[in-house]
Amino acid sequence: MEEIKVMVADESHIKYVDTILQTIADAAKVRGTGIAKRSPEYVATKMKEAKAVIALQGEKFAGFSYIETWGNKQYVTTSGLIVHPDFRGLGLAKRIKNMTFTLARKRWPLAKIFSLTSGSAVMKMNTQLGYHPVTFADLTDDESFWHGCEGCINRDVLHRTNRRYCICTAMLFDPEEHLPAKIPDDVMQRIYKIDAGEKG
């Protein structure tokens, strides 16, 4: 069987965007849980900005996740973690999670990393990486982040509680006690070029 490679995505992977979004939507239906919806343009932008991780077996899509900054880069999320049904049970989700986490730590070493999830497997992975459960008040107050929850089927719970809690569990990683992991030098060179063009 051909090796499954996990890598930082770039523009060459934009052709997988529709497959990624369909896989995420299908998984949400099976679980019966909500998920923040993202547009094809949004996901493609994450790839162009080296803010996404993709897993491929040859040319076949196997998994995906992305990162985003909030609150003037004081917070980072690792989001949209998905593994195609054909590749589940192989430990791939953990490999993807570890790389998005490493990428976030390398690019923004002082930022707090948080996760909103309803999945027990993600909670377990977060705990192993050093995340702790927190209240929603401990997360970013960046309205752009919370706007992403409007596409979730459980958004009414978030509204009714004045954004104090929802179906998802909030988890937070405090960076002060941890060192960033290694991202390949060629990937970092591309990131530095991208960041040089960013504002702020």
Kindly report, residue by residue over 163-173, the tens digit of the pLDDT.
888 888 999 99
What is the maximum alpha-carbon separation in the chain?
A: 50
Contact 26, 171 (CB under 8 A): no
Q: Which residue has the higher pLDDT, 22 or 164?
A: 22
Q: What is the pTM for the complete model shown?
A: 0.79
Q: What's residue 171's pLDDT? A: 93
115 exposed, middle or buried (CB, 10 Å; 0-12, 13-18, 19+)?
Answer: buried
Q: Domain 4-196 class?
A: alpha beta
pLDDT in tens, 39-64: 999 999 999 999 999 999 999 999 99
Q: Please, how many CA atoms are within 13 Å of residue 119, restricted to the half-sphere of its CB?
A: 17
Note the pLDDT of residue 58.
96
Whether the per-residue pLDDT at 182 is higher than 80: the answer is no
CA distances from 140 to 34, 136, 167, 171, 196 (A): 20, 8, 18, 12, 25
